Amino acid sequence: MGGQRNGHRTVAVRSRNFGRGLPGVGGIGIGAGALLWAAATAVGGTGTMRQVGVDEWVLDFCVSVRFDATEAQLTRVREAFQLGSPILNDATDGQVRFGRISIFNDSQGGQEAEVWIHPGTGGAFATYGQYGDYDHHITMYYGSNIASADIDSFPDRAAYTMAHEFAHHLWNIRDEYNGIGCVESDPDCVPDMQNCCDCEAWPHSPVASYCLMDNYFTRGGNLGAVPSGTGTYTLNEFCIAANHDPDTDTFQESTHGQSCWTYIANHPDRGLADPGIPAESPVATPAPQFFDEDIVQPRFVLCMDTSGSMGTQDLNDAATRLHRLKQAGHIFINLLNDGDELGIVEYSTTAAPVFPIQAILNANDRQDAKDIITDFDPNGSTAIGRGLRESRDMLTPLPDSCTQRIVLCSDGYGNTGPDELTYIPSLVNNRLPTSCLAIGGSVSEDNLKQIAYQTG
């Protein structure tokens, strides 16, 4: 997950997108891995981390507004994300920003959404390191974190909170303003005390740029501001080993024992390139794209390789690759929720839909889909590109949705038809993230990783 993990002569790599959510690339040498991978895919969330350049990633995700928001309120929601993206991008030295954001109004898109926005007021919080996991999300409140009189006067309040919570959710980074034995709100924690929880060494500086996980309402350019948060927001960097929590009392230190940047750089799922000393100058940040959604049912297309080589038995495996693929497909179908939509494409030398996209409502529907897979026989060459094209063309006529995905299964290189990599732009343009399941010992690891990383 995040790095390259090769095992039993197959790909064993997952995209940086996911923890226990939808893997980008799953690899199996024998059957158990496929079954576990299929299970994770069927119950994942929708947040992805899509590669758009060297050390450059964009986050595509869903937002569930948990009340019937007016158009003016939805505009404020979009503005909050648009403000937060440059702060996160700056803190990561241009490596992570927001990409495509799908917004569901009136409590739709619940469990799949990465962000829930409630009415009223309250404190923002996030599940730690569970971006892309089903039913785990950042919780925010419209009246406190999106739109208020304070935010109208100081819009950075919303921007910094957005970036701060995404850092929790993406990397499991902990707070640098609180910790065991010290509480930021403790009445004994006054400006002339040195034993308060903080990342920056005493005395604090009004031009400090670190740490985003510290209290940006009271430190840096907000030092001494009355009321708090009415100064200049300057904590737009993560701390590094040289300046992280010198008195070792914050939750980041007690939980991880590392600076924020050290922990991010070594994260097993979403590790970034360590900048050494972060750049102080702001990073140019393209604006995110917004989509208003009203289709919430998850939708999948299984794109399954039935080429002749799928009849091969790998070392130490009594079953053929196709047998293992059938097992994985059956498990995947069993784990779909009632109402989830499924289509199946079969490809070898040619490619064609064999199970039209439809809602899986009951055991009979599941059995119909499994029967299609059971009847597969190995034959012909491997036209991965044609399989992707047919899968794309099944999905694009349907109403747009952020809760849809292609699951590409293959045991090797595409060796006939169009190059599979040529379909990446159209998959991205049509918002069709593609997970890749690799089976066997002759897998096109590089191509599958490119498809998974670049589509999300």
**Percent of the chain scored above 90 by pLDDT?**
68
CB atoms within 10 A of CB 108: 17
Confidence check: pLDDT of 349 > 50: yes
Q: Report the distance separating Cα 270 and Cα 68, nearest Å.
A: 34
Q: What is the pLDDT of residue 204?
A: 85
Please report which confidence band the pLDDT of residue 28 belongs to, taking 50, 70 and 90 as the band edges: very low
- What's the whole-number average pLDDT of the chain? 86
**Burial per residue of 404-421, b for 16 or more beta-carbon CB atoms within 10 angstroms, e otherwise:** bbbbbbbbbbbeebeebb
Average of per-residue pLDDT across 237-241? 97
pLDDT tens string 425-454: 999 989 899 999 888 766 767 888 899 889
pLDDT > 50? residue 330: yes
Question: Cα–Cα distance between 100 and 48 in angstroms, integer?
Answer: 10
Mean pLDDT of 13-19: 34
Structure tokens given for 149: 């009189």
**Highest mean pLDDT, choosing among 31-40, 157-166, 331-340, 433-442:** 157-166
Taking residues 322-332, what's their average pLDDT? 92
Which residues touch 219 (CB under 8 Å, ≥6 apart)?
Answer: 177, 198, 200, 204, 208, 235
> Which pLDDT band, with edges at 50, 70 and 90, does 195 fall under?
low
**Domain 25-46+296-455 classification at class level:** alpha beta
Q: What are phi and psi of 386, to 5 degrees?
A: -65, -35
Of 17-31, 171-185, 397-411, the least confident: 17-31
> 40 near 332, Cβ under 8 Å?
no
pTM of the model: 0.82
**Enclosing H/E stretch for 428:** helix 424-429
The model's pLDDT over 147-161, given as tens digits with 9 standing for 90+, comes to: 999 999 999 999 999
332's CB contacts (< 8 A; 6+ apart) are 38, 39, 41, 42, 300, 302, 407
Bridge-partner residues for 103, per DSSP? Answer: 63, 292
Place of tokens 């604006």: 287
Domain positions in the chain = 25-46+296-455, 49-292
Question: pLDDT, tens digit, for every residue of 256-311?
Answer: 999 999 999 999 989 999 999 998 888 899 999 999 887 768 899 999 999 999 99
Residue 188's CB: how many other CB atoms inside 10 A?
Answer: 9
pLDDT of residue 46: 76
How far apart are alpha carbons 123 and 91 in whole angstroms? 22
pLDDT score recorded for residue 127: 97
The sign of the CA dihedral 381, 384, 385, 390 is positive
Tens of pLDDT, residues 99-154: 999 999 999 888 889 999 999 999 999 999 999 988 899 999 999 999 999 999 99
Tokens read off for 386: 């044609």
Q: What is the pLDDT of residue 399?
A: 83
